[in-house]
Amino acid sequence: MASIPENRKFVVKSEEKGIRLDLFLSEKLKISRSQVKKAIDNGLVLVNKEKPRKAGELLHISDSVEVKQFFDPSISQSSGVVKTKRLKEYKIDVIEQEKYYVIINKPANLLTHPTEAHEPDTLVAWLFGKYPEISKVGESKDRPGIVHRLDKEASGLLVIARTQKMYEHLKRQFQARCVEKIYKVLVYGNIEAEHGVINFEIDRGKDGRMVSRPRIDKLKLKNVVKIQNGKEALTEFWVEKRFKRFTLLRVKIHTGRTHQIRVHMFAFGHLVVGDTLYFNKKLVKKNDNDLGRLFLHAEKLCFEDLRGEKKSFRSDLPKELLDYILDLK
């Protein structure tokens, strides 16, 4: 375990009431639940200054959760070997640099911006060093210039606003859902349809994870107990290649909900390879390669610049994802 000098403390908010301890810390620290459990088993986690009884303990409003030490989130769960990776070790490609914005190819396992844990190694920290003017852009000092993000374990294209005018311009486009976002995703199972649309609503479940289920007729009395309240979410996909136990998809999201692709695919019965949060152990075999990240890559991004011209950018699959596909049968 690699320790850090300061403790990490969190207070449970009203909207987090009833969340499991392991899921709470998994979200806060951006690590897997199994890693959180290791920290709990090693006595590194306190709830209201006492050791929790179990990893699945439910939290209450105003509970104080403290992580006395921390182990590196890039630890391999299969080998148990700690691999510390600092910001300077990540290869961050600048796809295009303009006066008003910059297009970044984010590597996997790098946070877009710091969470409540105040992580020092984030894309924002790198941006501060290269584009200091973004410190005055946006609505949050922790997310300067950031109008959208990618999950830590995912990779691909992000647009960062360098001026407030561009920030507002991009924000309006995202709100109007006219920004095109295309992803490459490898999922478990064989999807027979060449093309499909998933429109399940998404909301935060009682255990803290995002949840989704197929639409039902809410007007029918018999369905009242089955209603899963949530926000509209729309994911469209096309099959690119089929393997024995996997399907490679091209995915377009028409909305931008938290963990949308991962949650929709999980609810659809085809979870994303490498996902340790939305996980079904029945689909994963012991001899499957440990990818160490999500097989989720933002390969295409399109929007309008300040002149009204459409800008389109592409990013090829990273080598580790290409190599993973080559090993499949």
Residues 6 or more apart whose CB falls under 8 angstroms from that of 192 comprise: none
> SS3 for 41-89, per residue?
HCCCEEECCECCCCCCCECCCCCEEEECCCCCCCCCCCCCCCCCCCHHH
Residue pair 211/263 in contact by the 8 Å Cβ criterion = yes
Pick from 301, 298, 261: which is nearest to 180 by CA?
301
Per DSSP bridges, beta strands 201-204 and 8-11 are: unpaired
Residue 16: how many other CB atoms lie within 10 Å:
19
Among candidate residues 72, 93, 121, 151, the one labeled active-site is 151
Token readout for 100 is: 């008003």
Rounded Cα–Cα distance for residues 295 and 306 (Å):
33
Rounded Cα–Cα distance for residues 36 and 277 (Å):
12
186 forms beta bridges with 248
Pick from 90, 115, 107, 117: which is nearest to 4 by CA?
117
Rounded Cα–Cα distance for residues 66 and 51 (Å):
10
Pick from 175, 146, 179: which is nearest to 162 by CA?
146
Rounded Cα–Cα distance for residues 212 and 200 (Å):
6
Torsions phi, psi of 61, nearest 5? Answer: -55, 135
Residue 108: how many other CB atoms lie within 10 Å:
24
For residue 151, indicate whether it is catalytic. yes
By annotation, the residues acting in catalysis are 151
